[in-house]
Amino acid sequence: MGSTVIMDFPGPLAEHPLAATVATAVVVYYVFKRYEPDMPLPLLGLLGVIPGALSAAFYYASSNGLLYTAATTYALYYTTIVACVLAYRVSPFHPLAQYPGPFLHKLSKFRMAWVLFARKEHLGVDITYFKKLHEKYGRYVRIGPNELSICDADAILPVLGAQGFPKGPFWDGRVPPGATRSLISERDPAEHLRRRKVWNRGFSQSALHAYEEIIRDRTVQFVQLLEKMEGSFDLDQWLSYYTFDFMGDMAFGGGFELMRHGDDHTGVIELMDGSFRRNNITAHVPYTLRYLNMLSRSAVTNKFAQFAAERVAIRRREGSVRKDLFHHLIDEDGLEPHPPPMNELMSDGLLAIVAGSDTTSHVMINAFYYLMQYPEMQKRLQAEIDAMFPPGTPPFDLVKQANLPFLNAVLNEAMRLQPPVPNGAQRSTQRIGSRMIGSHYIPDGTQVNINTYALQRDPTYFSPAANEFWPDRWLPEADRAPAFIEKIEKGGFVHDTTAFFPFSFGPAMCVGRPLAYMQMRMAMCAVLQRMTLSLPQGVRDIEDYRLAGRGVCPTLCAVREGSKPLVG
């Protein structure tokens, strides 16, 4: 009798097992489409328990073997779900169907993850890929099932402005499960505003004045090291050591000393690069970070977080002899009603390490590289520095540095061609509903990126020679070089600075922008007052992505005749 009950249990399922499997899979597909579950328990139920129950029912209702029944049921179940997903994503019924883009990108974000995985030796960065997509498909390109890349200056204000889009799920793929978000990865606008207030104090005018001595001392040490270089050396590596040492002093009260040791003896750069390499890929498929962490509790991202936590704990325990960044983040002046929790300080430590060092060294290595590639521009900048700071005069006056027009033009042009965050920062309509960007409809649940690299090289906004290094475009007409004036006469002049946003825009604009300019100007003045840099023979054109990631910039250094040693 019990056997009869089991045989009768499936009912219609036994007569049409394939149809029942397909129908169940279609229902589950709609569950995924509506709720997008990514937690282990719901996934286990939808992808494990349900097809398992179907397999058991079919097995008891048929004469087929268990293995055959289970394999057939699971295969058909998964195939139906995947087919529904892919068919919808490329169908004319998808909300983003009107936007052009590569076919494989429309199917899955794993395609973008693979593109960046192929660049893993360059920290998962491929800055030219999106530019090529925009050149082929236009200003709005579909780069994922629900994601657009935008190359349109008119989108900057509505997307990044005060009334713009909140941050997207890209940031979920960069924060390990259970970790406290840093300021830059915080998706809640209200929480971001609360955290930003403390950081603003750390970069106020009075705070910046306190950091001036730190910049000067580390810059003198850097120039003295360059004076001792013999033969070709990697300028990118030593700039990283310089910016990390400064960041260690400015944020944590010291302790890195990479320049003194001549290598990454703390392991901080290796840990950061490993974290970048993985997170730049997992950010495109955020839920994968959860399962990668479950598979490897010793993941490099966790090691990097542990390193930052240790630095914060040491700084909090031992204090500092001067008002460094963490003086403000820890709130040692007691301005807040409650002291910040340790988990927030740890995430702030991670951000300070990255934002306070790597982005600045990225801009400087590109600026120096362009000046080595075009020696006449390096001489022109040296002449401007010499006029403001004659030999023997310390080149440390921040006001005078800020009033060097060609220096500012060089830095702006380097950031235009090689922005610190080349692919922009993802925003989303997930929490705000559909929006319009001009005449473009952005549906609910859509992620958007304004691609900084592609936009700042668009001849619509910067012409002539949008892909060439011409600091003159940032100068008044009377100060431009004849060669650039000749280019203008041939092709016209366009200089739309609304398309220039290397430090982002709006409420999430980089809080450390003034400090970055201070350090870059001082380093450029000190180095070029004292010496001339050049590329070794045979080295002319280093590919963009090698300098966007952790590349190698072979460099020769010669002390200038008549220059005087720097003194701290």
510 is in an annotated binding site: yes
* 386: helix, strand or coil: helix
Q: What is the β-pairing status of strands 531-534 and 435-437?
A: unpaired
Q: How far apart are the first and last CA of the chain?
A: 95
DSSP 165: P
**Other C-beta atoms within 10 Å of 222: how many?**
22
The residue written with tokens 């073997």 in the block is 65
DSSP secondary structure of 376-410 = HHHHHHHHHHHHHS-TTS----HHHHHT-HHHHHH
**Other C-beta atoms within 10 Å of 145: how many?**
20
DSSP 162: T
> CB of 148 within 8 A of CB of 265?
no
Angle at 150 between CA 146 and CA 156, to 5 degrees: 115
Q: Residue 538 corresponds to which tokens in the numbers above?
A: 């045979």
Distance, CA of 15 to chain centre: 55
Q: How far is CA 548 from CA 226, 276, 419, 482, 503, in A?
A: 23, 12, 9, 31, 15
Alpha-carbon distance of 240 to 361, in angstroms, equals 6
> CB of 361 within 8 A of CB of 234?
no
Q: Residue 443 corresponds to which tokens in the numbers above?
A: 């549906």
Binding site, by residue number, is: 510
List the binding residues for heme.
Answer: 510
